Amino acid sequence: MPNLVAPGFEKHDELFAALLATAVDGIIVIDLKGDIQIYNQACERLFGYPSDEVVGQNVKLLMPAPYHQEHDGYLSHYHKTHERRVIGIGREAVGRRKDGSTFPIYLSVGEGKLGDQGFFVGIIHDLSAIRQEAAQREGANRLLAQIVQSSDDAIVSKTLDGVITSWNASAERIFGYSAAEAIGKHISLVFPPDRLVEEDEIVARLKSGQSIRRYETVRLHKDGREVLVSLSVAPIHDGSGTLIGASKVARDITEQKRAEAKTLALQDELAHFGRLSAMGQMSTAIAHELNQPLTAVANYVNAAQRLLEGDSPAAPKLQSAREAMDKAAGQTMRAGTIIRTLRDFVEKRDSERSLQNFNDVIREAVTLGMLGHKHSDVKLSLTLDPAITAVAIDKVQIQQVLLNLIRNAMEAMVKTEHPKLVISSAAEAAGVRITVRDTGPGLSPEIASRLFEPFVTTKEDGMGIGLKICESIVEAHGGTIEAINGDPGAIFVIHLPLDLMQTEKH
Ligand code: ADP
């Protein structure tokens, strides 16, 4: 046997006492009958008995049923057979505290001899904390599993090679494969063939430490139909931080997209209705506007006819006739342009974005908006920021917004002494701003906070949907519209976001 004790330490009672006192684990020495001979400080903490209440008592005092009843039997069995069940082996057992409560322990038992007196040593390691932690971990895992199972989103994990390792109930519902069918298969199971490249892209991004959030794409249901999903992918690391796979959360957005498409179609309908009603209101002005060039055409043609009448048309008359015909053609063109602009405007169409020179779009809308008001004494100030060039918008719809604002402004200024319409565009950090300002009476306080609600109007013949349409068009473009009192007049400000804009930098 190796010498475990250095010279000078061999026979010190203090050393023995210090060892007992310092040990974190409980140490109990019993005699061959089972009576407790030594019971250290850690035991007092563990069992709640002070040592003077247990020393001399049988050790089964510290054991709950069935060990309590069986311990005497263990001892006599050992004395008879020397068959070791726990001695030198150790095992998990249960301790009983003074208050009757029990706790899990790891018990190591050894035996020794002092002279001819045999004894057993028990070392008691409290397992409560470990057990509790394990139970908590298990509880947390179970909870997590329940959350994953009950999620409306498909939650799927896979290795870096794309092999599916877990597949929750919603994954079964959204993709049609049961967990048993999907686990162990390659994730390409749910990929349309033309989307397979996305998997490489996803893995590459995970490897570079990025997650993927709300990526909208298409996957395949078992029955072959396409499912629109919003995908979020996060890396899974092992305990040492190595990337070993990915968890994917897929939300089925097929219905949502269908609803969005429906809303957009409704918005188009509403916008179209708005344009028709604007056009209806403008019809007198339009008739007047078209009447002018057409009357002029008729006059020029009559004049030309007169000039061409007679026996021998003289050269100067011919020249005048040519000029009259040119003017007639010019006026016809003008009437034609007006009709074309109007037809474009009222035409029923799906919303469609294209790159447009934004300032030109504003100029055209102003022309349209001023139709019929040209001869009123409204002063127009148009300040357009040349830094704005091409913007991806639905031209007709944005013109509809501007036309609405301009017509409202014109109507508001009918009784204003110095009517002035100020329209400006400006490139700004977050996008582009358009302002339409008038010098009318401003917004009526009783409706100022509800301007953009439908059917809110102060006009006798008003429908109160113009501003609602403006708002829905601007919001469909990702922008905002607000109305403020300008003192004098009203100011309408539209912000359209940067991603619609292509400035000269691009
Ligand atoms: P409508 O023109 O049919 O009333 P709108 O939705 O276009 O419908 O406008 C709603 C209301 O907002 C108007 O009735 C008016 O009271 C107010 N409003 C709109 N523009 C102006 C403006 N430039 N100045 C003052 N009030 C305005």
Asked which of 257-271, 274-288, 356-370, 442-456 is least confident by mean pLDDT, the reply is 274-288
Q: Are residues 366 and 481 in the same domain?
A: yes
Q: Is 458 in the pocket of ligand 1 (CB under 6 A)?
A: yes
- Burial class for 158, CB neighbours closer than 10 Å (0-12, 13-18, 19+): buried
Q: Is 414 in the pocket of ligand 1 (CB under 6 A)?
A: no
Residue 176 backbone zone (phi > 0: left; psi -120 to 50: alpha; other: beta): left
Which pLDDT tens digit goes with each residue over 150-163?
A: 999 999 999 999 99
Which pLDDT tens digit goes with each residue over 426-436?
A: 998 888 999 99
Looking at 81, 97, 131, which one is the last position of a domain? 131
The whole-number average pLDDT for the span 21-41 is 94
Q: Are residues 338 and 361 in the same domain?
A: no
Q: Are residues 24 and 108 in the same domain?
A: yes
pLDDT at 504 over 50: no
Q: Are residues 248 and 259 in the same domain?
A: no
Q: Are residues 239 and 162 in the same domain?
A: yes
For atom 19 of ligand 1, the residue with the nearest CA is 408
Q: Is 443 in the pocket of ligand 1 (CB under 6 A)?
A: yes
Q: Are residues 361 and 340 in the same domain?
A: no
Q: What is the structure's pLDDT at 16?
A: 85
Mutate to test the pocket of ligand 1, among 276, 402, 455, 457 (most ligand atoms within 8 A of CB): 457
Q: Which two tokens stand for residue 166?
A: 């877990």
Q: Are residues 375 and 450 in the same domain?
A: yes
Number of neighbouring beta carbons within 10 Å of residue 289: 19
Name the pLDDT band for 503 (thresholds 50, 70, 90). very low
CA distance 310 to 367: 43
Tell me, yes or no, whether 78 lies in a domain: yes
Name the pLDDT band for 506 (thresholds 50, 70, 90). very low
pLDDT at 375 over 70: no
Asked which of 97-101, 107-111, 375-379 is least confident by mean pLDDT, the reply is 375-379
Q: Is 490 in the pocket of ligand 1 (CB under 6 A)?
A: yes
CA distance 177 to 129: 42
- Per the prediction, the chain carries an average pLDDT of 87
Q: What is the structure's pLDDT at 1?
A: 46
Which tops the pLDDT comparison, 13 or 240?
A: 240
Cα of 259 from ligand 1 centre, angstroms: 30
Tell me, yes or no, whether 139 lies in a domain: no
Cβ atoms 416, 378 nearer than 8 A? no
Strands lying side by side in the sheet with 431-437: 379-383, 420-428, 431-437, 490-497, 480-485
Cα of 469 from ligand 1 centre, angstroms: 12
**Which atom of ligand 1 is closest in space to residue 412's alpha carbon?**
24
Q: Are residues 346 and 358 in the same domain?
A: no
In sequence order, the 6+-apart residues with CB closer than 8 A to the CB of 475 are 481
Q: What percent of the chain has pLDDT over 70?
A: 93
For residue 502, what is the domain's CATH number? 3.30.565.10
Strand, coil or helix: 432: strand
Cβ atoms 37, 27 nearer than 8 A? no
Q: Are residues 471 and 489 in the same domain?
A: yes
**Which atom of ligand 1 is closest in space to residue 438's alpha carbon?**
23
The CA-based angle 487-493-499, given to 5 degrees, is 160
Q: Is 464 in the pocket of ligand 1 (CB under 6 A)?
A: yes
Q: Are residues 500 and 377 in the same domain?
A: yes
Count: domains in the chain: 4
Q: What is the structure's pLDDT at 384?
A: 95
CA 397 to chain centre: 28
Q: What is the structure's pLDDT at 451?
A: 92
Mutate to test the pocket of ligand 1, among 408, 467, 468 (most ligand atoms within 8 A of CB): 408
**Which atom of ligand 1 is closest in space to residue 457's alpha carbon?**
14
Number of neighbouring beta carbons within 10 Å of residue 328: 20
Q: Are residues 170 and 226 in the same domain?
A: yes
Q: Are residues 345 and 357 in the same domain?
A: no
Q: Is 409 in the pocket of ligand 1 (CB under 6 A)?
A: yes
Q: Is 444 in the pocket of ligand 1 (CB under 6 A)?
A: yes
Q: 275 lies in which domain range?
A: 255-350
Name the pLDDT band for 390 (thresholds 50, 70, 90). confident
Q: Is 412 in the pocket of ligand 1 (CB under 6 A)?
A: yes
Looking at 299, 323, 350, which one is the last position of a domain? 350
Number of neighbouring beta carbons within 10 Å of residue 96: 20
Highest mean pLDDT among 50-54, 270-274, 285-289, 471-475: 50-54
Q: Is 408 in the pocket of ligand 1 (CB under 6 A)?
A: yes
- Please tell me the pTM assigned to this model: 0.50
- What does the H/E/C string look like for 365-421? HHHHHHCCCCCCCCEEEEECCCCCCEEEECHHHHHHHHHHHHHHHHHHCCCCCCCEE
In sequence order, the 6+-apart residues with CB closer than 8 A to the CB of 422 are 381, 383, 435, 436, 437, 438
Q: What is the structure's pLDDT at 374?
A: 54
Which pLDDT tens digit goes with each residue over 306-330?
A: 877 765 556 667 788 888 888 888 8
Cβ atoms 169, 176 nearer than 8 A? no
Looking at 222, 252, 282, which one is the last position of a domain? 252
